[in-house]
Structures are given as structure tokens and as C-alpha cells.
């Protein structure tokens, strides 16, 4: 978890001193946040998100009387509250931390193909409706000869309606459809993650791929995801990974399906094995302590 920097600490300490002297500014939540910052406590990502949200909502307070030194009423209640959350240094820090977090998530994305994907295109002259499965449940897949993988039913339940998912070509370029705009719909059934995309034939990218989909030249789909809950079983010769829950980024028509993210998955397996070793070592120590007592 990220730790506040010195400039944030100075600003939060100033806010606490102002509030005690003038008896105004901020809430108990702000005071608690200031104390955490001054004491150098690690702040959770959820807390950093709340900080960013606070600064975005209260940016307008800078226009009020008493914000700047020399003005009547300085420091205003808004200025004191702003300081409690770390002030301008805190805002810059929160934005940087969240940007790093997003970049880290981007690097952890993995792509998978849905080998049984079928495209049905219904053309009314202006729009084309495309349906199929972007992911199939309970189907073992060999990932680069490194491990087998399956997706558990319900793995995308939370992602549907939460994640802004785009429909792409080869995981690249401008979106052909999007869940946020309502042109891409996602749903789950017993078989897997089903998609329905409404494509605009006035879009040159759509016109380029629709004939190929109708002929069957493009009949594979890939989905980009990041596992948020997974289970590893490496008792067999080849480890097995079960994706129990995942965030979704895009679904893509692909020309040459490939399993990507192998290195990412291997790092996940290595973390699992280290955790297993630590757990086993702890159990041995507890057993030894019981035997010696």
C-alpha cells in the first residue's frame, strides 16, 4: 500500500493546526485522514480513490474568499479542509498512485480465444447484429504447454454491468461497439459469456470485416481479462488454473488467435507456490510447537 510523502504530511499537519486554532474546516473523516497522513500510515487504494474524489469535488472551493494568504477570512473552512486531505501535494500524489495502479493492471491483462465462437450476422442494410460466445465455461484449454486452464461459471457476473467493455479487432484500434453506449451487450448462461454487438455499416472498419465474418474467414473471438480470483492446482504433471472471477477489458474479432499472457500466468503460479510453501512451513512450526509442549 502507498505511503504519504513529506509534502503531504506538512500540509496535513498545517490543516490540523489551523482547525484547532480557528475551530472550522473539514469533517471528522478529514481529521482522521490528516492524522493518517501525518503519521505516515500506508493508505489503501480505496482510500486513495476517495482522496481523488474529494479533490475533484472541492476544486471549486479555491474560488472562495479566504483561500489565499492576505484575503479576509484566511484560511477559509475550505482551505483548511483541503489541507487535511494533503492539499495540492496530496492531490498530485493520489493521481500518480492511481495512474500507476491502472498501468499495473494494464500490464496484467491476458488474452484468450474462444475456440468455439460462431458469428451470426444479420444485415438490415444499416446495422449488423453479431452474436456469439466470447468465453466458454468448464472447458479445459492448454495454455502454451505450460498449464491447463478453465473458466468457472459465473466468473464474469460482477464484470457484466460494471466494466466498460469494448468490441475491437485484434485487441486494437477504435471500438466497433461498447457496453457503455449500449451497442455491446454481455450476458452469461450455462455455456459461457455471450456477446451481442450492434455494428454500424457506415463504419469503414465494420464494412471491412463483415463480409469476412459472413464467409467464415473471421470466425474466432478473443477476450482480454484480468483474473481477480483464481485457484491453482499443481498436483498433476501440468498445473491447472481455474479462473473464478475476472475483470473484462475487451472482446475482439481476431485474425490469428493466440494465447497471450503466458508469462503473467506463470508469475501467478509462482506466487501461488510461494504462498503454499509459506503455509506449509507455518503448519510445520505449529505442529512442532504442539509436540514440544
The whole-number average pLDDT for the span 184-196 is 92
Could you tell me if 115 and 172 are in contact, meaning their C-beta atoms sit under 8 angstroms apart?
A: no
The kind and range of the H/E element at 19 are: helix 6-22
- pLDDT greater than 80 at residue 161: yes
Q: What is the mean pLDDT of the chain?
A: 84
What CA–CA distance (Å, rounded) separates 66 from 290? 66
Kindly state the cell numbers that stand for 93.
Answer: 500524489
| pLDDT above 80 (res 45) | yes
Per the DSSP assignment, residues forming a β-bridge with 241 are 149, 232
In this model, does residue 223 exceed pLDDT 60? yes
Exposed, middle or buried, 188 (CB in 10 Å: 0-12/13-18/19+)? middle
Lowest mean pLDDT among 19-28, 32-41, 69-78, 109-118: 109-118
Q: Give percent of the chain with pLDDT exceeding 90.
A: 46
The least confident of 56-65, 69-78, 176-185, 227-236 is: 227-236
**Residue 37 near residue 86, CB atoms below 8 Å:** yes
Question: CA nearest 32: which of 56, 10, 16, 49?
Answer: 16
Q: Are 176 and 182 in contact (CB under 8 A)?
A: no
Could you read off the pLDDT of 124-148 as tens digits, one per residue? 668 888 888 888 899 888 887 788 8
Is residue 153 within 8 A of residue 138, CB to CB? The reply is yes
Q: What is the mean pLDDT of residues 177-186?
A: 95
Pairing mode, strands 110-114 and 221-233 = antiparallel
User: Residue holding cell 452469461?
Assistant: 188
Once rounded to an integer, what is the mean pLDDT over residues 216-223?
A: 81
The residue written with cell numbers 455499416 in the block is: 201
pLDDT at residue number 280: 62
Alpha carbon distance 57, 61 (integer Å) = 9
Q: Give the model's pLDDT for residue 264.
A: 46
The span from the CA of 255 to the CA of 169, in Å, is: 8
Which pLDDT belongs to residue 282? 60
Which residue has 455491446 as its cell numbers? 184
| Cα–Cα separations (whole angstroms), residue 254 to 48, 95, 144, 218, 259 | 37, 35, 18, 7, 12
Q: List, in sequence order, the alpha helices (H) in 193-232.
A: 204-215
Q: What is the pTM of this model?
A: 0.55
The pLDDT tens digits of the residues spanning 59-98 come to: 999 999 999 999 999 999 999 999 999 999 999 999 988 8
pLDDT tier for residue 290 given thresholds of 50, 70 and 90: low
pLDDT at 213: 81
Amino acid at each position: 500500500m502507498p505511503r504519504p510523502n513529506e509534502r503531504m504530511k506538512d500540509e496535513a499537519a498545517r490543516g490540523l493546526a489551523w482547525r484547532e486554532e480557528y475551530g472550522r474546516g473539514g469533517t471528522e473523516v478529514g481529521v482522521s485522514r490528516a492524522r493518517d497522513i501525518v503519521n505516515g500510515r500506508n493508505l489503501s487504494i480505496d482510500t486513495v480513490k476517495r482522496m481523488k474524489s474529494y479533490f475533484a469535488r472541492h476544486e471549486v472551493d479555491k474560488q472562495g474568499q479566504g483561500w489565499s494568504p492576505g484575503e479576509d477570512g484566511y484560511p477559509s473552512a475550505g482551505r483548511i479542509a483541503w489541507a487535511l486531505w494533503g492539499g495540492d501535494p496530496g492531490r498530485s500524489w493520489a493521481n500518480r498512485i492511481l495512474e500507476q495502479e491502472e498501468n499495473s493492471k494494464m500490464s496484467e491483462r491476458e488474452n484468450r480465444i474462444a475456440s468455439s465462437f460462431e458469428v451470426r450476422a444479420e444485415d438490415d442494410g444499416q446495422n449488423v447484429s453479431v452474436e456469439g460466445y466470447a468465453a466458454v465455461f468448464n472447458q479445459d484449454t492448454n495454455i502454451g504447454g505450460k498449464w491447463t486452464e478453465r473458466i468457472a461459471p459465473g466468473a464474469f457476473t460482477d464484470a457484466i454491468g460494471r466494466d466498460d467493455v469494448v468490441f475491437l479487432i485484434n485487441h486494437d484500434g477504435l471500438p466497433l461497439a461498447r457496453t457503455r453506449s449500449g451497442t455491446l451487450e454481455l450476458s452469461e448462461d450455462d455455456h459461457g459469456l455471450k456477446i451481442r454487438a450492434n455494428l454500424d455499416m457506415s463504419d469503414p472498419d465494420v464494412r471491412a470485416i463483415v463480409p469476412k465474418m459472413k464467409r467464415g474467414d473471421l470466425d474466432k473471438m478473443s477476450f482480454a481479462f484480468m483474473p481477480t480470483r483464481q485457484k491453482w492446482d499443481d498436483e498433476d504433471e501440468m498445473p491447472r488454473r481455474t479462473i473464478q472471477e475476472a475483470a473484462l477489458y475487451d472482446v475482439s474479432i481476431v485474425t490469428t488467435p493466440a494465447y497471450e499472457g503466458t508469462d503473467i500466468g506463470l508469475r501467478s503460479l509462482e506466487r501461488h507456490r510461494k504462498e503454499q510453501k509459506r503455509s506449509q512451513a507455518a503448519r510445520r512450526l505449529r505442529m512442532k510447537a504442539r509436540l514440544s509442549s
